[in-house]
Amino acid sequence: MEMCIRDLEPSQRPRERLLENGARVLSDAELLAVLLRTGRRGTGAVAMAHDVLEASGGLAGLARLEPAALADRPGWGPAKAATVTAAVELARRLAAAEVRRDRRLDRPEVAGPFLAAHLRDRRREVFGLLSLDGRHGLIRLHELAWGTRRSAPVDSGELFRLALLDGAAGLLLFHNHPSGVLDPSADDLELTRRLVEGGRVVGVDVLDHLIVAGPKWLSLRVTRPGVF
């Protein structure tokens, strides 16, 4: 039988160690155990956390798991699954928030790595935009459409509505290819042309469209300039 957290000396319990010494001293499994709070009969929270990290291939794999898959694990259930999923999403949003507004994101060598980090755990195609200010700093990141492994439907009216609400001077479009193949499809190019033209009509420049596949990215502005 695994030792439960309540059986540990207070100085050895993850939550108490976090409060006393800071979160940096805890292992990944211990941090996850703080979120889980309790284990299941015969298995402590740290052991449960270690099991799911091992089964999923670490933190990156854990972040890719759907809430339903977490909830189905022994001893988890909806509450633990929701807590961990919320923590993962907060981490993603923190990463986005750390991109300062005075950092220019119109350059693909800056926007590409940022978006690759944002989209790295997605198994389905995601389409979105970065609303940029007059200096091409980030105002807000929007995810607009979620689809299958092959496509995500895009509502151009909603896209420009959000851009205008943000007061955006320019837009950077993005979507991922979960297949790992960076090559743009004919549909990708046609959608980009349509949105570039729509931006001209409403007075918002579509500056680029980045495709992300794992850690790699591709700029349509650079590789297909005729689309713009």
Of 95, 121, 148, the one marking the end of a domain is 95
> Quick count: other Cβ atoms within 10 Å of Cβ 166?
18
Sheet with 216-219: list strands edge to edge: 138-146, 126-132, 170-176, 205-213, 216-219
Q: Which residues lie below 8 Å from residue 129, measured CB to CB, with a gap of 6+?
A: 141, 142, 144, 159, 162, 163, 171, 172, 173, 174
Same-domain check for residues 166 and 221:
yes
Same-domain check for residues 128 and 174:
yes
Residue 88 corresponds to which tokens in the numbers above?
Answer: 């993962």
Looking only at the bridges linking them, the beta strands covering 138-146 and 205-213 are unpaired
Question: Which of 57, 151, 143, 135 lies closest to 96, judged by CA?
Answer: 143
d(CA 34, CA 49): 9
Same-domain check for residues 149 and 183:
yes
Same-domain check for residues 78 and 191:
no
d(CA 42, CA 55): 19
Of 67, 95, 123, the one marking the end of a domain is 95
Of 95, 127, 147, the one marking the end of a domain is 95
Q: What range does the domain containing 90 cover?
A: 5-95
Distances (CA, A) of 136 to 111, 160, 171: 11, 17, 9
Same-domain check for residues 123 and 53:
no
pLDDT by residue for the chain (228 residues), tens only, comes to 455 555 566 667 899 999 999 999 999 999 999 999 999 988 889 999 999 999 999 998 898 889 999 999 999 999 999 999 999 988 877 776 666 555 688 889 999 999 998 887 788 899 999 999 998 999 999 999 888 645 567 889 999 999 999 999 999 999 999 988 999 999 999 999 999 999 999 999 999 999 999 889 999 999 999 999
Domain holding 127: CATH number? 3.40.140.10
Same-domain check for residues 131 and 190:
yes
Q: What is the pLDDT of residues 78-119, one digit of tens each?
A: 999 999 999 998 887 777 666 655 568 888 999 999 999 888
Same-domain check for residues 221 and 200:
yes
Same-domain check for residues 113 and 12:
no
Name the domain count of the chain: 2
Same-domain check for residues 220 and 109:
yes
**pTM for the whole structure:** 0.67
**Which contiguous run of DSSP H or E holds residue 160?**
helix 156-166
Same-domain check for residues 18 and 65:
yes
Same-domain check for residues 89 and 193:
no
Same-domain check for residues 115 and 219:
yes
